[in-house]
């Protein structure tokens, strides 16, 4: 399975939007590729509706959504139709039909959890590098607000060269402020408290 910082494995796949080359077709965009155990299952249906409800928010930060399972494309298409007809939600992002080879390449098949794919989440950056990996068991649905928060935080961290505190932007200590990387020499350590708000020279923070 790909690790943090690795280039995302090249995948040529079929999706509900036609053939895709991942990550090649996503070059220049952040993306969230997420797998689900199976079409026409309750938890997965709630997840797809939740992702779609946040589609505009992901789009605003330049992040594309791609679903994936080992179901065939015709099953994905029928499921999308069912969601539209019964829940009045139109799924506008592609759903990839993976095979076992692709699923194994991404570490999505866990023998201890059966033959369906687990709920994997891969966040990739515009260069196709893996920046975040999450795995959930089949019985637990994901929190899409956390995934959106994580992508936003990664973008801010890259742009501002800062670290992001726990529960950002509602951290108990810092609220929506961000953390300055610790000084790595004595001279810079002495200057820190005069440059930023600090608890100590190794724990300084600022507003965005």
Signed CA dihedral, 147, 4, 99, 120: sign only: negative
Enumerate domains of the chain plus CATH numbers. 11-142 (3.40.30.10), 161-208 (3.30.1020.10)
Higher pLDDT, residue 111 or 187: 187
**pLDDT for the residue numbered 5:** 95
Model confidence over 132-168: pLDDT tens digits? 999 998 889 999 999 999 999 999 999 999 999 999 9
The Cα–Cα gap between 117 and 113 comes to 8
Q: Is 44 a catalytic residue?
A: yes
Q: Is the pLDDT of residue 110 over 80?
A: no
The Cα–Cα gap between 19 and 127 comes to 20
Model confidence over 57-67: pLDDT tens digits? 999 999 999 99
Nearest Cα residue to 36 out of 63, 67, 8: 67
Model confidence over 50-93: pLDDT tens digits? 999 999 999 999 999 999 988 899 999 999 999 999 999 999 99
Q: Per DSSP, which regions of the chain are E strands?
A: 11-15, 18-22, 30-35, 63-69, 95-97, 119-124, 130-136, 178-180, 197-200, 203-206
Average per-residue pLDDT in the chain?
A: 93
Cα Rg of the chain (Å, integer): 20
Q: Is the pLDDT of residue 115 over 70?
A: no
Higher pLDDT, residue 116 or 32: 32
The Cα–Cα gap between 53 and 91 comes to 9
Nearest Cα residue to 4 out of 122, 176, 171: 122
Signed CA dihedral, 123, 77, 89, 140: sign only: negative
**pLDDT for the residue numbered 121:** 95
């Amino acid at each position: 399975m790909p690790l943090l910082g690795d280039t995302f494995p090249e995948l040529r796949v079929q999706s509900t939007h036609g053939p895709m080359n991942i990550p090649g077709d996503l070059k220049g965009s952040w993306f969230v590729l997420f797998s689900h155990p199976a079409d026409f299952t309750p938890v997965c249906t709630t997840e797809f509706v939740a992702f779609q409800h946040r589609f505009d928010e992901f789009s605003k930060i330049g992040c594309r959504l791609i679903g994936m399972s080992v179901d065939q494309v015709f099953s994905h298409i029928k499921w999308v139709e069912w969601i539209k007809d019964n829940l009045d939600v139109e799924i506008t992002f592609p759903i990839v039909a993976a095979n076992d080879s692709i699923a194994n390449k991404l570490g999505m098949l866990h023998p201890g959890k059966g033959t369906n794919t687990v709920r994997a989440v891969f966040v990739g950056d515009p260069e196709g590098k893996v920046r975040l990996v999450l795995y959930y068991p089949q019985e637990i649905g994901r929190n899409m607000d956390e995934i959106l928060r994580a992508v936003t935080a990664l973008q801010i961290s890259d742009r501002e060269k800062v670290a992001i505190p726990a529960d950002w932007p509602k951290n108990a200590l810092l609220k929506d402020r961000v953390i300055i990387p610790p000084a790595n020499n004595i001279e810079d350590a002495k200057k820190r408290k005069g440059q930023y708000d600090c608890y100590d020279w190794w724990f300084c923070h600022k507003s965005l």
